[in-house]
Each structure stands twice: as structure tokens, then as C-alpha cells.
């Protein structure tokens, strides 16, 4: 779908939402969806519903081609295991992450050389002339949480966090792997919280599943700190594309690499001719 008509996917299972986007590309001409809107509900104690077979099949495909697995991609947006090791204390999480950030960045120098999403969320800009950032040292998440908890009824437009930074990211490189995620907003509605995310582009095969999972984990973290229940994640994508995997710069739809993933997705998502 590349004629400007949006594709909306609304699912209560993260795996099914990703599978629908993936199979839409497989079943239609071209290798892009523009625009794509994915809305996910279905959480148990903040954890999104998943289909283990779909995720495992995708992980196997990614690992075989030397790509990051789903959980690794998700951790770039929110380091869930580190939050657990921090005993669900957010200040401990923030401090711990920044202490080891250089090591995290060095683990994937090609992918992380320009930064990592969670790092920009908690250390975006600490310039001394930026008055609003002084107290929080560029920690956008801490600012949002603190303002919400301290000021009941505060305007909801305050609850947004930026990833894209024109000062760093407006560069003419022909390929820029970071940041594809541009902006996040949080919407408290009664006792629930919705997270909205905007991507300029998104790689459906390599990144999208991990992106959705990381965003859901981030939404659950913010809901926990704001004493709300995380209820929905909306992801808006300008151009979602199949693109490449591993060293294959332009992977064909009929590549045998994709066959196992397609087959397991077909078990729960029928083809358009069924």
C-alpha cells in the first residue's frame, strides 16, 4: 500500500498486529506500507499478549542472518530487565542505565554509534541555558512523571518526549539507522494511559516487532510510575518497509529465509484470498 491510503491494524495481541503488517506486504504489490497505523491492546499486568510461535520464528530468522533479536531491539526503547533488577525503582533504573550506557553503546558500535532511544529519553539535552531541563538533566521521562504526580489536572500536551534532534540528526548521510523513532506522547485518560509513537520510517522485518514490544514496555513503566493502568499503544509509521536483512540489501519476498515466518503467521492470519 503506497498510494497514501492508510492501513490501520487494531489487535489485542502484539504478535498478530506485527503478523498482519508483515503479511500485508507479502500479499500486495510493492514492499512498503505508507502510512501504517498499528494499535495494540491486550495486556496482562502490563505485559502484552504474544504468540510464542510467531515470535520464535522471527527470532530464528533474525539470528540466522546476524540481526538483533526481538528482545534486543525492544531494550533500546526500554530496558525491562534492568528495571526489574532495579527493583522497579525508577531513579535506580535511570542511574544504573547511564552508568553502563557506554558499554551498551560499544556492544553494537555500528548500530548504536549515534545513540540509543532510551538514552535520549532520559538524557536528551542538559545544556546549561535550557532552564526547563536543569532540574532533570535532560530526563524527559522523569519530567513527565514528576509533573503528572505533582500537578493534578496539568495539561496533557506536556506529556511528550522527543527523540529526533535537528542539531544532531539533520545530516545528509545516505543511510541513517538512528533515529527512526521520532516522538512519543503519553495520554492519561481516567485511570488508564495510552502511548503514541511516531516513526518516519520503520523496518517491518528487522525492527517493527521489537519496536512494538519496547514501546509497550515503556508504556507500562510510565503507567506504573503515574499510578495508572497501561491500556493501549498506538504506533504511527510514515513508511513501513520490508527492506533488508543481514547482508541481503534487498530481500525478495519469495526468499526462503522468509518462508518459516510466513508459514507460522498464516496459521493465525489468513491470506487475502482465503
Q: What is the pLDDT of residue 19?
A: 98
Cite the beta strand spans of 66-191 per DSSP E.
160-162, 181-189
Does the domain at residues 7-266 carry the CATH identifier 3.30.572? yes
Q: Residue 126: its pLDDT value, please?
A: 47
Give pLDDT, residue 272: 53
- Residue 90, C-beta contacts closer than 8 angstroms, at least 6 positions apart: 83, 141, 142, 145, 221, 225
Q: Where are the beta strands (DSSP E) in the chain?
A: 7-11, 32-33, 36-40, 43-44, 47-48, 160-162, 181-189, 192-203, 229-241
Quick one: pLDDT at residue 251?
Answer: 85
Contact 263, 226 (CB under 8 A): no
What pLDDT, on a 0 to 100 scale, did the predictor assign at position 4? 66
- Average pLDDT of adjacent 10-residue blocks, the chain of 274 residues: 78 98 95 96 95 98 93 96 96 95 79 83 68 68 93 82 86 76 95 97 96 98 97 97 74 92 93 52
Distance, in Å, from the CA atom of 107 to the CA atom of 96, rounded to the nearest integer, reads: 17
What phi and psi values does residue 181 have, to the nearest 5 degrees? -75, 125
What pLDDT is stored for residue 5 in this prediction?
81
Contact status, residue 127 vs residue 173, Cβ threshold 8 Å: no
Q: What is the pLDDT of residue 109?
A: 66
Please tell me the distance from the alpha carbon of residue 186 to that of residue 157, in angstroms, as a whole number.
9
Amino acid at each position: 500500500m503506497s498510494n497514501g491510503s492508510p492501513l490501520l491494524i487494531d489487535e489485542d495481541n502484539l504478535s498478530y498486529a506485527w503478523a498482519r503488517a508483515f503479511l500485508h506486504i507479502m500479499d500486495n504489490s510493492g514492499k512498503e506500507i505508507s502510512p501504517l497505523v498499528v494499535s495494540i491492546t491486550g495486556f496482562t499486568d502490563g505485559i502484552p499478549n504474544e504468540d510464542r510461535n510467531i515470535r520464535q520464528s522471527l527470532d530464528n530468522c533474525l539470528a540466522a542472518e546476524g540481526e538483533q533479536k526481538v528482545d534486543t531491539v525492544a531494550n533500546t526503547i526500554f530496558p525491562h530487565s534492568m528495571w526489574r533488577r532495579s527493583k522497579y525503582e525508577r531513579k535506580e533504573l535511570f542511574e544504573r542505565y547511564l552508568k553502563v550506557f557506554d558499554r551498551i553503546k560499544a556492544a553494537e558500535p555500528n548500530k548504536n554509534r549515534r545513540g540509543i532511544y532510551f538514552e535520549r529519553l532520559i538524557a536528551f539535552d542538559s545544556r546549561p541555558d535550557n532552564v526547563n531541563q536543569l532540574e532533570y538533566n535532560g530526563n524527559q521521562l522523569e519530567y513527565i512523571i514528576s509533573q503528572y504526580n505533582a500537578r493534578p489536572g496539568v495539561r496533557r500536551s506536556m506529556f511528550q518526549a522527543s527523540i529526533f534532534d535537528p542539531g544532531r540528526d539533520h545530516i545528509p548521510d545516505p543511510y541513517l539507522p538512528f533515529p527512526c523513532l521520532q516522538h512519543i506522547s503519553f495520554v492519561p485518560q481516567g485511570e488508564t494511559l495510552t502511548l503514541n509513537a511516531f516513526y518516519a520510517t520503520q523496518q517491518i522485518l528487522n525492527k517493527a516487532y521489537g519496536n512494538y514490544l519496547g514501546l509497550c514496555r515503556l508504556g507500562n513503566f510510565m503507567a506504573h510510575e503515574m499510578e495508572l493502568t497501561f491500556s493501549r499503544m498506538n504506533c504511527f509509521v510514515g513508511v513501513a518497509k520490508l527492506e533488508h536483512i543481514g547482508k541481503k540489501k534487498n530481500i525478495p519476498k519469495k526468499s526462503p529465509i522468509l518462508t518459516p515466518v510466513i508459514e507460522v503467521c498464516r496459521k493465525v492470519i489468513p491470506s487475502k484470498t482465503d
